[in-house]
Structure formats: C-alpha cells, structure tokens
Chain A
Amino acid sequence: MSDNAPIVLRARDIARAFPGVQALAGVELTLRAGEVHALMGQNGAGKSTLIKVLTGVYAPDAGSIELLGQPVTPQSPIHAQHLGISAVHQESHLLPNLSVAENICAGRYPRRPWTRGGGIDWRETERRARELLAGLGIELDVTQLAGGLPAALQQLATVARAVATDARVLILDEPTSSLDADEVQSLFKLIRTLRDKGVAILFVTHFLDQVYEICDRMTVLRNGKFVGEYVCTKLDARGLVAAMVGRDVAAAEKSAATAHAADAGGPPLLAATNLSRRGQLKPMDIELRQGEVLGLAGLLGSGRTELARLLFALDQRDSGDIRIEGKPAKLEHPADALKLGLGFCPEDRKQSGIVAELSVRENIALALQARMGLRKFLTLTEQRQIAEKLVAALGVKTASIETPIGQLSGGNQQKAIIARWLATHPRVLILDEPTRGIDVAAKQELMHEILELAKGGTAVLFISAEIDEVVRVSDRIMVLRDRAKAGELPRGADEDAVYSMIASTNGAAT
C-alpha cells in the first residue's frame, strides 16, 4: 500500500435524497488498486446507499463516479458488473439447488457450437469454475450442490462468482457477519489473494478488529456526510469510533456492568431441569433469577440458540421440566411463553423478527396485542403512544412510526424488535445475538438498555458470539460446548476464563 498506488475508482461529491431523508451529501470515496478499503459508519450513516449508488441500484442526485479515469454512470447491478464493479451483499447467496460450477457461471454459461448440438457446454462450465477457484486458492468440488456447503464455503464461492467477471472493484457488504473466527480467516485469505491481484476492495463491516486486520485505509461516513479518509495505522479504534459517532466515547472500552444485587431469596424466576431435544441439546439445567443478566457463551453450533428456542417453546422439548417462580409452567407454544411473561428476540431478524411490510408501530404492538388476545384491541391511539414512547426511548431512527419496518436500517429494525418485547413488560427476556449487525454506538446503547432492564427486575438471558460483550454485561456466564453445558462462571470472570472453558475438552469446570 502506498499513496501512489493507481486509483481505480473515484466517487466525488455524491448526493442522494429519499423522501424526507438526505441519505448522502458530498460523499467522497477513492479506491486504489491492490488495497482493501473499509467503509465505516453507524447504522443509517449512508453506507448501503453509497454501495447502491456505486452498483447502479440508485442514480445519484449529484456527483460523479470515475473508473480508471473514465466517468461512468452505472445503470443497474448488471451494468456495474460489466463496467467492473461487483458486489457481494450480506444476503447474496448461491442458488442452493444448482452446483457450485453452475452458480459461478450463471448468466454467462459457455455454449456448445451448433455443430455439436448447441446448448450449454457443461464440461466447459465446470472447467472454468474449477480454474477460477484454483486461481483463487479455494479448494472446492465444483460439481457439489451449493446448498449442501457450509455457510463459509458458500460465502467464498459467492465472492469467486463476483470476481469471475474480471472485477476491478469488489464491494463486500458485511461478508463476515454470519461466519465464525476460522471462517473469517479463510475469507480474509481470499481477500488478500484478490488484493494482491490488484483488485480494489471495499469492505463494509461492524467489526472493528477485522477492519484493523485486513484494511489499509478507511472512509468514515456519518449521517450521510463524508467525515474523512484515514490510513488505518494512523487512526486507532477509539479515534475511529469517535469519527463514526461524532463524539468521544471514552466509556466504550470500559466495563459497562455496574454492580446491582441480583435477587437472592425465593425460587428462581425461571428454572428448567433436564431440558433436552434430540440432536439439538443434551439434557441441561438452567436458572434465571429476577434482575440478573445471565450471559450465554459458546461457539457457533454449541447449542446457544437451540436452548433459547426450547425455553420459548419455539421448538418442542423432548424432556425437561420448566418452572416459573417455582410453579410448573405449561409451555407448548410461543403464545404460552408470552402469557407467562417471557420475551424472545430471535437471532435472525429478517426471517423471524420483523414483518417487513407492516409499520414500525404495528411491529412494536404485535407481541403485546398477541398477549392481550383478539378481543382486547389496542386502539390506534394506544398503539401510537406505545410505539412513540419506545421509539424515543431506544432511539430508533425512522421517518415516522408509520414507516414500513423493512425500510429501516438493520440496527434500527433490531431496536424496534426489542421495543416489541419491552412493550410487553417481560419478566424474562431472551436476547439471541441482539448486537449482530449493529454499529458500535448502538451496541453501547443496547448494553445500557439491558442493564437498565435488569435493574428494573427483568431477568435477561443474553446470548452473543462476542465474548467481550457477554463478559461486560453478565452477572453470571453459562458456557455451552457441543450442545451441552460446559460450566458456569461468576461475575467478574474475564474473557480468558470464558475462552478456556469453551476450549477445555473434558468438562473441566463442573
């Protein structure tokens, strides 16, 4: 990396407005050959809009884009691809019922000459895919169905497909959000290979450590405006967060957990014994007391989400006795859980959280209304009051509470779903990866909110793949490994203790 690396793409003074929102104004972006460039900003800063302008989804209201010195105006993602700008989005997946080779060559299948009967040349398709993957150092059987591959390999194949068209610019929009640490490394290896081939890479992520690991430069946006371009080695994490948020968040790195006495006497608020489901969770016990935050740590696939789903009756348990305040509880359907005062923020916001076409107000009112039943109807005024109060309290950024929730940015959708559960005043709130895909400042606010909830007497089960977050907010930490309980750690345990319990192989801490 050096300042005289040739500039591949330069966007100048980009502006784009939507009804009621100036999404981008005066935004600059310069990408250089052989560099990985981070695009940083909070939720709603304009990162997605900028990417959509670069890939021709939106036409900019003002500004210019130059590719290798030539002015270009991408008209559509396909057109952008022809120009040499490819993008891999968080949701751009492979077609599961086609082979890897078919996926990679989709849309530009090699044809057999008519002398050989015409049609698609499948052998050539496979050869090209194999060649492409080999050139990128990816070991993969191209005849395999894409749907059968683990998420990480699918991600690699998606990136390979994106660069198969001789991309000069590759945009990666949160490619790591569903990968675990090892998988991130294999993706980074691929990114480095592409970088060394001279591709200019724009990398969008919320993980600061990843930015510092792989990126050379970064551009920071805030509220749709250009804050600055920095060389990564010259701006530390604290400076970066300050640039994104617009103020110095000194507390960001400090422990957020403040001592608050968890209720000690009486039966636990929620106690499950011998809880299990075949193939998903080995029998285990779990206890939640009023006013405590119980952190749930473990690797991907350790049974974190499975445990949460059993507690909320989203899946049927094979065995297990669940008691609420010492009394046996009927828990067969999420509606039962809701009646008992449980709340559950699912991990997969799009799939099982939001109802995209309904308004923010309706999404927030949904669980409370479900608990009240059909007849006791929340009037429009009541719904508005509840929604407005929570939108303000959680700082959900939305044009209005009548905006369809699907139009909000990811972090704001997440906040609105949490608002849905807060509206029910839950006694037990299960949060499955609530901080995934949301920015640093929003995470900070969310942690604060969780601690406030616990102070108010709610028992919180906090699930996160980010061990530092778990350590920061939890009163107790339960560690899962291989779909079973590995052990428990008291408040004050540090990350290393959690990691070593995750890593220990023979149930050491029992």
Chain B
Amino acid sequence: MKRLVHHALFWPAVTLALLLAASSLFNASFLTLTWRDGHLYGSLIDILNRAAPLMVVSLGMTLVIAVRGLDISVGAVVAIAAAVAALMIGGSFSATGEVQSQYPLWLALGTALAVAAACGLWNGLLVVKAGMQPIVATLILMVAGRGIAQLLTGGQIITVYYPPFFALGNGFLLGLPVALWIAGGLWLALHLLLSRTALGLFVRSIGGNPEAARVAGVRSSAITLCVYTFCGFAAGIAGLIVSSNVKSADANNAGQLLELDAILAVTLGGTALTGGRFQLAGTVIGALIIQTLTSMIYSMGVPPEVNLVVKAALVFAVMLLQSPEFRGIVMRVARGNSSKPLDGVKR
C-alpha cells in the first residue's frame, strides 16, 4: 500500500479517477460504452479521441522539459503542419465525381512532418548552438510560426475535400479511434526507446546535471538537438490529427495555446519542470486529466463565458491535490494539528 502511494503515477491516476467519477455524476451515461457499426462509442472514447493531439504534443514536451528545456512553439508548429498538409492535399472533384488529392497523400503527410521536425531542429539549434534560453528561443517560433502558417494559407481556412485524409482524426481501427492508436503507438515507441536503450539514462543525466553529463562523455548537445527535433515532429503529428479531424487547416486557431496545455499535462503527470526525472505515462494521464476537465465543463452546462474561469478553478484544485506540501497540511489539520512537522513528506 505504501509503495503504491509513493509510486510516481499514484496521484495523477487518483486525480483522473476522481474527475471521471465526478463527470459520471453530471452525466448518468458517462461511463457507458456501446458497440455500434463495429466501433466503440461513449464519452470515454470521446475523451480519449479528443485528448490524442494533446497527448502527442505533451510526449514531445516531456522530453524537452526532461533535458531542462521548454518548447512554447508547439502550438504554432501544429498550425504549420496542418497548413502544409491541407495545402498539399486540398482536393478537387474530377469528372467522375471522385475527389483527387493534389499530391499523393504520403508525400503530403511526409512533407508536413518533415517541416514540423525542421521547426523543432531550428529550436534545438537556437538552444544548443546559439545558447539561447529555451523559452526565448522557442518564443521566436511561437510568434513567427503562426505567421508562417498564415502566410501559407493566405489567411484563409483551407478546406480539405479528400476523404482518405479524414481517417487520421475521425477514423476507427479495430473499434478504437485511429488518433488514439497513433498516440498510443508513439507512447509505446518512446517508452521502449527510453527503457531499452541508454537514451533514458542520458536524458535523465542531462536534465539532472548537464555539466556532469558532458564530463562523463555524454553527447549532450546531439541528444538535446534530437529531443527538440522530436518535439517538433510530435507537434506535426498533432497538427495532422487536428486538421484531419476538422477537415481543414485554420492557421489562426489550430493549436492555439496548446503549448500551455502541454506544459500543464507534463506537470500534472509528475515530471519536474526543473528537468531530470520524467514520467511518460504520467504525461499521458495528465493530457487525459485536461481533456476530462474540458469535457466535464461542457457536460456541466457551464455557459461559455465562464468556461475559462471554471477550468482555472478546477486546474487549481487538481494542482493542490498533487502537491505533497498541501497534502501534508491537510493530513496535519485532519489529525488535529497536534503532531510535529512530518519529516516523511517528500519534497
């Protein structure tokens, strides 16, 4: 039991469970899953599907934060990838009434991901080679990136008419949403990469003490570059899912403020913002917590104008629940304020 409580994922998981339980109070059919047309349907599936882009972005963000970095340009990269994909696919009706893609689908997707990865590499170069503070380095692309996306789309919302593209954000595979398979696959791949190769040890040592890692012969610069590039790539995948889901690319709003949700998801998942220790599975739970919150607010019937305030209050409550210091205070108050300060409370 004690080991369970001290497990890094215990409190994120408890938080998610509590939120799900609360949601089922507002919506009696919340936990119901039904099988229709060969797919699973239900609010839970909905949450998983909608959380997928955030999960993908947050996984990239987790690694960046683990090497003492930060990438606030992911929202803009989402918009760029969406714009590139939408422009290259577009679609026009042929004489037969069939919709044609402008370029082959694989080429469009590949280009969008390559551009996104290049954005990540750019960030990485600014941080590693130019020695900029990560928040400043990525701020550049955060602002400029959205401009680039708007330039690409000419300020218009580009609509995609080519149905095969819609599978990413709307399709189902073996009864589950395709987006969920993508996010799950990415998580599994990362998990294996970090636990079956030395990458996990290197990332934690760079985050824990970059200078010591360098002295020990770890190629910190190369690894950090790769991590930023991957973060951009992940944002690209999210961009594809998002644009596929809404069948268009909106340079102004795609991925808007996604960077902040991603940082929040990483934090909720138990990764320290100071670098070093990271929790990939925690990040996934964190992204689910955020999406559950959002869904819950909708199902509560909160008017749109107070939406953000309610969300902020809930996020605040969640953060308190996750704070060991706060839990320590609660425990002490519960015990009648008599005992001396607990040494056992982990900091």
The CB with the most chain A CB atoms within 10 A, among B198, B215, B343, is that of: B215
A344-B215, A365-B201, A375-B197 known; A355 vs B340 contact (CB < 8 Å)? no
Q: Measured between alpha carbons, how far is A377 from B213 in the docked complex, in Å?
A: 17
Min CB distance B177 to A, Å, is 33
Q: Measured between alpha carbons, how far is A344 from B211 in the docked complex, in Å?
A: 13
Chain B residues positioned under 8 Å from A333 (CB to CB): 219
Those of B169-221 within 8 Å (CB) of chain A: 196-199, 201-202, 204-205, 208-209, 211-219
Query: Which residue from chain A places its CB closest to the CB of B215 in the assembled complex?
Result: A352
Q: Is A358's CB within 8 Å of the partner chain B?
A: yes
Q: Is the CB of A355 within 8 A of B217?
A: no
Those of B234-273 within 8 Å (CB) of chain A: none
A369-B201, A374-B197, A374-B198 known; A355 vs B215 contact (CB < 8 Å)? no
Q: Measured between alpha carbons, how far is A338 from B217 in the docked complex, in Å?
A: 6
Q: Is B277's CB within 8 Å of the partner chain A?
A: yes
New A-B contacts (6) at CB < 8 Å, excluding given A354-B209, A355-B208, A377-B196: A335-B217, A352-B209, A352-B215, A353-B212, A367-B216, A370-B216
Q: Measured between alpha carbons, how far is A420 from B343 in the docked complex, in Å?
A: 32
Min CB distance B149 to A, Å, is 34
Chain B residues positioned under 8 Å from A375 (CB to CB): 197-198
The CB with the most chain B CB atoms within 10 A, among A338, A353, A374, is that of: A374
- A-B contacts, 13 of them at CB < 8 A, read A312-B215, A314-B214, A333-B219, A339-B217, A352-B211, A355-B208, A355-B209, A355-B213, A355-B276, A358-B201, A366-B201, A370-B202, A376-B198
Q: Measured between alpha carbons, how far is A375 from B198 in the docked complex, in Å?
A: 7
Q: Is A334's CB within 8 Å of the partner chain B?
A: yes
Tally chain A residues at the interface, Cβ within 8 Å.
35
Q: Is the CB of A346 within 8 A of B215?
A: yes
Q: Is the CB of A377 within 8 A of B197?
A: yes
Chain A residues positioned under 8 Å from B218 (CB to CB): 335, 366, 370
Q: Measured between alpha carbons, how far is A374 from B200 in the docked complex, in Å?
A: 9
Chain A residues positioned under 8 Å from B201 (CB to CB): 358, 362, 365-366, 369
Min CB distance B79 to A, Å, is 33
The CB with the most chain B CB atoms within 10 A, among A356, A369, A372, is that of: A369
Q: Is the CB of A377 within 8 A of B198?
A: yes
Q: Is the CB of A371 within 8 A of B212?
A: no
Q: Is A138's CB within 8 Å of the partner chain B?
A: no
Q: Measured between alpha carbons, how far is A58 from B199 in the docked complex, in Å?
A: 38
Q: Is the CB of A366 within 8 A of B211?
A: no
Q: Is the CB of B202 within 8 A of A355?
A: no
Chain A residues positioned under 8 Å from B197 (CB to CB): 374-375, 377
The CB with the most chain A CB atoms within 10 A, among B199, B201, B208, B216, is that of: B216
Q: Is A378's CB within 8 Å of the partner chain B?
A: yes
Instruction: List chain A positions with a Cβ less than 8 A from chain B.
Output: 58-59, 312, 314, 333-335, 337-339, 344, 346, 351-358, 362, 365-367, 369-378, 420
Query: Which residue from chain A places its CB closest to the CB of B199 in the assembled complex?
Result: A374
Q: Is the CB of A367 within 8 A of B217?
A: yes
Q: Is the CB of B198 within 8 A of A372?
A: yes
Which one, A337, A354, A376, contacts B212 given CB within 8 A? A354
Tally chain B residues at the interface, Cβ within 8 Å.
23
Min CB distance B203 to A, Å, is 11
Q: Is the CB of A334 within 8 A of B215?
A: yes
Which one, B198, B215, B276, contacts A369 given CB within 8 A? B198
Which one, B204, B205, B211, B217, contacts A371 given CB within 8 A? B217
Q: Measured between alpha carbons, how far is A377 from B205 in the docked complex, in Å?
A: 15
Chain A residues positioned under 8 Å from B211 (CB to CB): 351-352
Q: Is the CB of B198 within 8 A of A355?
A: no
Q: Measured between alpha carbons, how far is A375 from B196 in the docked complex, in Å?
A: 8
Q: Is the CB of B212 within 8 A of A314?
A: no
Which one, B198, B208, B217, contacts A357 given CB within 8 A? B208
Q: Is the CB of A357 within 8 A of B219?
A: no
The CB with the most chain B CB atoms within 10 A, among A335, A354, A358, A371, is that of: A358
Chain B residues positioned under 8 Å from A378 (CB to CB): 198
Query: Which residue from chain B places its CB closest to the CB of A365 in the assembled complex?
Result: B201
Chain B residues positioned under 8 Å from A358 (CB to CB): 201, 204-205, 208, 276
Min CB distance B320 to A, Å, is 24
Query: Which residue from chain B places its CB closest to the CB of A59 in the assembled complex?
Result: B340
Q: Measured between alpha carbons, how far is A377 from B211 in the docked complex, in Å?
A: 22
Q: Measured between alpha carbons, how far is A353 from B202 in the docked complex, in Å?
A: 15
Q: Measured between alpha carbons, how far is A346 from B201 in the docked complex, in Å?
A: 20
Those of B309-347 within 8 Å (CB) of chain A: 340, 343
Per-residue A-contact encoding for B145-174, CB less than 8 Å = 1, 0 else = 000000000000000000000000000000
The CB with the most chain A CB atoms within 10 A, among B199, B208, B214, B277, is that of: B208
Q: Measured between alpha carbons, how far is A338 from B317 in the docked complex, in Å?
A: 49
Which one, B196, B199, B205, B219, contacts A355 given CB within 8 A? B205
Q: Is the CB of B199 within 8 A of A356?
A: no
Min CB distance A450 to B, Å, is 19
Q: Is the CB of B209 within 8 A of A356?
A: yes
Q: Measured between alpha carbons, how far is A376 from B198 in the docked complex, in Å?
A: 8
Q: Is the CB of A357 within 8 A of B276?
A: yes
Chain A residues positioned under 8 Å from B213 (CB to CB): 355, 366
Chain B residues positioned under 8 Å from A376 (CB to CB): 198
Q: Measured between alpha carbons, how far is A352 from B213 in the docked complex, in Å?
A: 8
Chain B residues positioned under 8 Å from A420 (CB to CB): 216
Q: Is the CB of B216 within 8 A of A366?
A: yes
Chain B residues positioned under 8 Å from A339 (CB to CB): 217
Which one, A314, A372, A374, A377, contacts B215 given CB within 8 A? A314
Q: Is the CB of A374 within 8 A of B202?
A: yes
Per-residue A-contact encoding for B86-125, CB less than 8 Å = 1, 0 else = 0000000000000000000000000000000000000000
Query: Which residue from chain B places its CB closest to the CB of A351 in the assembled complex?
Result: B211
Query: Which residue from chain B places its CB closest to the CB of A349 in the assembled complex?
Result: B212
Min CB distance A507 to B, Å, is 33
Chain A residues positioned under 8 Å from B216 (CB to CB): 334, 338, 366-367, 370, 420
Chain A residues positioned under 8 Å from B343 (CB to CB): 58-59
**Sorted from nearest, which 10 A-B pairs have the closest CB atoms?**
A338-B217, A355-B208, A370-B217, A352-B211, A355-B209, A367-B216, A366-B216, A335-B217, A370-B218, A369-B198
Min CB distance B225 to A, Å, is 14
Min CB distance A439 to B, Å, is 23
Q: Is the CB of B204 within 8 A of A362?
A: yes
Those of B273-307 within 8 Å (CB) of chain A: 276-277
Q: Is the CB of B204 within 8 A of A355?
A: yes
Q: Is the CB of B208 within 8 A of A353?
A: no
Q: Is the CB of A356 within 8 A of B208?
A: yes
Chain B residues positioned under 8 Å from A58 (CB to CB): 343
Chain B residues positioned under 8 Å from A369 (CB to CB): 198, 201-202
Query: Which residue from chain B places its CB closest to the CB of A314 in the assembled complex?
Result: B215
Min CB distance A321 to B, Å, is 22
Min CB distance A112 to B, Å, is 36
Q: Measured between alpha carbons, how far is A344 from B216 in the docked complex, in Å?
A: 8
Query: Which residue from chain B places its CB closest to the CB of A372 in the assembled complex?
Result: B198
Chain A residues positioned under 8 Å from B212 (CB to CB): 346, 351-355
Min CB distance A337 to B, Å, is 7
